[in-house]
C-alpha cells in the first residue's frame, strides 16, 4: 500500500480514536467513583454538540464572526452546559439509586439517554434532520504525496489529546483528584477521612460530562454535521472501549478508545468484504475480548455490587 494512503488511514483512525477515548474516559471516571455505568453518556456528547451548534448560530446572529473566538466560546459553552447536565444527572438519578440493584441504574440511564435523544429530535428546530455544523477552523491543507494533512484535523487531534491529558493531570496531581481516587478506592473510608462524598461524585460527573461536551464539539467540527442519534453508537463504543481497557483506569480507557478505532479502521481496510462491515468486525472482536477477559484488558476490577 502506498505510504501516503497508509498515513491517511492512520490519521483517520487517530481522529476517531481521540473522540472515542474522550467518551471512554468519562465512563471510566463515573465507574471509578460510583461503580455505576452512565449509559446516557453518549447522548451527553450529542447534546454537547447541539449546544455548541446553537451557541455558534446565536453568535453568528449577534454578528460575532471571528472564528477563533467563536470556537473558544462554543467549546466553553458546550463544556459548561454538559458539566451542569452531568451534575444534575448525578444528583437526581444516579445518587438516589445507588442502593437499588445495578439493573435499575442501568435501565434508568439507558432511558435517560433515550429521553435526551428524543428531546433534541423533537424540540430543536428541524431536530430530526442532520444539522450542518459550521466550519470554524482553518482549512489550510498540505499534500504529502497521497496524504492530505489538514490544519483543522490537526488542531482537533491536538485539542482532544490535550483535554484528556488535562483530565488525567487533574485526577493524578491535584488534591481534588486525590479525593476522587480515594472515593473510587473505598468510599466509606474516604468519607470517614472527611471527604465530602456527594460533592466528589457531583464534580466527577461534571468533569466527565464536560469532557463529553467537548468531544461533541470535536465531532461536530470534524464531520461538519451532527445528528440527534449519534449518541447511541458513540455511547456503546465508548463503553466498550472503557470496558476493554478496564473500567476504573483512565489509561485503560484511552487505550480502549484507540484500540476500537484501530479495529474499525482495520475492519474497513484489510477485510476482504466490503468496508461497511467494519462496525460488525469491531463489535465482534469486542465481544470476543470480553469473553476472553470478562473484566477488561488492564485492570481486574470486578463490578460487584451488594
Partner 1 sequence: MRSHIAVAAAAFAVGGVWLWAFLSTDSVWLFASLIVVAVLAFAFFQRFDAAGRYRRALATRPRRAALFAVLAVAGVAGGLRDQAYPLLMLCTVLLFVVACIGLNIQTGYCGIVNFAGAAFFGTGAYTAAVLSAHGVPHLFAIVAGGIVAALVGSLLILPVLRTRGYYAALVTIAFGILFSTFLEVNSALGGPQGLKLPGIDLFGWRFNRDIQLGGASASFYVNYLVLSLALALAAFVFARRVERSWLGLAFDAVRLDETAAATFGIGIARAKIIAFTLGNLLCGISGATYAMMQGFIAPNNFTFGESLILVSIVILGGIGNPLGIVPAALVIIVVPQKLQFIQEYRFLLYGCLVILILLFRPEGLLPRPLRNYFPESSA
Partner 2 sequence: MQRMMLTACAFALACVAAVPSMPASAKETVKIVYIGPLTGGNAALGLGGRNSADLAVQLHNADAKAKYTFDLVKLDDQCKPDIGVQVATKAGADSSIIAGITHYCSAVAIATVDTYHKFGLPVIVWGAVLPAITYGNDYPEIHRVNGTMINQNEVNAKLVTSLGYKTWVIIHDTTDYGKGHDEYFTKFLTQDGGKVLADFGVGADQQDFTAILTKVKELHPDVVYFGGLTPIGVRLRSQMDKLGIQSQFEGTSGIVSDSYIQALGPIAEGTIAFIDGAPIEKLPGGKFFLDQYAAHHYAEPPEAYGAYAFVAANLIMDAIEKVGPNRKAVTAELAKTKDHPSIVGPITFDAHGQNIVPIVTAYVVQDGKWVVWQDSDYAKGKRKLAGRK
Tell whether residue 141 is a contact of partner 2 (CB under 8 A).
Answer: yes
Tell whether residue 124 is a contact of partner 2 (CB under 8 A).
Answer: no
- Write down the H helix ranges in the chain: 3-34, 41-61, 67-89, 102-123, 151-173, 175-185, 187-192, 197-223, 230-245, 250-270, 278-292
Among 37, 53, 89, 263, binds partner 1 (CB under 8 A): 37
Chain-centroid distance, C-alpha 172: 20
CB 130 → partner 2: shortest distance, Å? 5
Question: 3-state SS of 75-131?
Answer: HHHHHHHHHHHHHHHHHHHHCCCCCCCHHHHHHHHHHHHHHHHHHHHHHCCCCCCCE
In sequence order, what are the residues at sequence separation of 6 or more whose Cβ sits closer than 8 angstroms to the Cβ of residue 193?
Answer: 182
In the range 159-218, which residues lie near partner 1 by CB under 8 A?
A: none
Size of the site for partner 2 (CB under 8 A): 30
For 256, the grid coordinates are: 480502549
Which x/- pattern, by CB under 8 A, does the window 59-98 give for partner 1?
Answer: ----------------------------------x--xx-
- For residue 154, give the nearest of 20, 18, 3 by alpha carbon: 18
CB 275 → partner 2: shortest distance, Å? 5
Which x/- pattern, by CB under 8 A, does the window 4-33 give for partner 1?
Answer: ---------------------------x--
Q: What are phi and psi for residue 296, nearest 5 degrees?
A: 100, 170
CB 222 → partner 2: shortest distance, Å? 9
Cα–Cα distance for residue pair 247/38, rounded to 1 Å: 12
Tell whether residue 305 is a contact of partner 1 (CB under 8 A).
Answer: yes
Stretch of 4-12, 57-65, 72-80, 228-236 lying at the interface with partner 1 (CB under 8 A): 228-236
Q: What are phi and psi for residue 39, nearest 5 degrees?
A: -70, -15
Tell whether residue 61 is a contact of partner 2 (CB under 8 A).
Answer: no
Tell whether residue 129 is a contact of partner 1 (CB under 8 A).
Answer: no
Interface contacts to partner 1, rule CB under 8 A: 31, 37, 93, 96-97, 100, 102-104, 106-108, 110-112, 114-115, 117-119, 122, 232-233, 236, 239-240, 243, 247, 274, 276-277, 279-280, 283-284, 286-288, 290-291, 294-295, 302-303, 305
Amino acid at each position: 500500500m502506498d505510504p501516503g494512503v497508509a498515513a491517511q488511514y492512520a490519521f483517520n483512525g487517530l481522529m476517531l480514536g481521540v473522540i472515542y477515548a474522550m467518551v471512554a474516559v468519562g465512563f471510566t471516571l463515573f465507574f471509578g467513583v460510583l461503580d455505576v455505568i452512565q449509559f446516557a453518556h453518549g447522548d451527553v456528547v450529542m447534546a454537547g454538540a447541539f449546544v455548541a451548534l446553537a451557541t455558534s448560530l446565536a453568535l453568528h446572529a449577534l454578528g460575532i464572526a471571528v472564528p477563533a473566538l467563536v470556537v473558544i466560546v462554543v467549546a466553553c459553552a458546550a463544556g459548561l452546559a454538559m458539566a451542569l447536565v452531568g451534575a444534575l444527572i448525578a444528583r437526581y438519578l444516579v445518587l438516589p439509586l445507588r442502593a437499588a440493584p445495578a439493573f435499575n441504574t442501568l435501565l434508568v440511564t439507558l432511558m435517560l439517554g433515550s429521553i435526551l435523544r428524543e428531546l433534541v429530535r423533537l424540540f430543536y428546530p428541524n431536530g430530526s434532520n442532520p444539522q450542518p455544523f459550521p466550519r470554524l477552523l482553518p482549512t489550510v491543507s498540505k499534500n504529502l504525496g497521497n496524504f492530505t494533512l489538514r490544519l483543522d484535523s490537526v488542531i482537533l487531534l491536538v485539542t482532544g489529546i490535550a483535554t484528556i491529558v488535562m483530565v488525567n493531570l487533574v485526577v493524578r496531581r491535584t488534591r481534588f483528584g486525590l479525593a476522587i481516587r480515594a472515593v473510587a478506592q473505598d468510599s466509606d473510608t474516604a468519607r470517614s477521612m472527611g471527604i465530602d462524598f456527594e460533592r466528589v461524585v457531583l464534580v466527577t460527573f461534571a468533569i466527565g460530562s464536560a469532557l463529553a461536551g467537548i468531544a461533541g464539539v470535536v465531532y461536530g467540527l470534524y464531520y461538519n454535521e451532527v445528528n440527534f442519534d449519534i449518541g447511541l453508537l458513540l455511547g456503546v463504543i465508548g463503553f466498550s472501549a472503557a470496558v476493554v481497557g478496564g473500567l476504573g483506569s483512565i489509561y485503560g480507557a484511552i487505550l480502549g478508545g484507540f484500540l476500537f478505532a484501530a479495529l474499525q479502521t482495520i475492519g474497513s481496510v484489510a477485510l476482504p468484504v466490503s468496508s461497511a462491515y467494519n462496525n460488525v468486525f469491531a463489535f465482534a472482536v469486542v465481544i470476543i475480548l470480553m469473553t476472553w477477559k470478562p473484566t477488561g484488558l488492564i485492570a481486574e476490577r470486578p463490578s460487584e455490587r451488594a
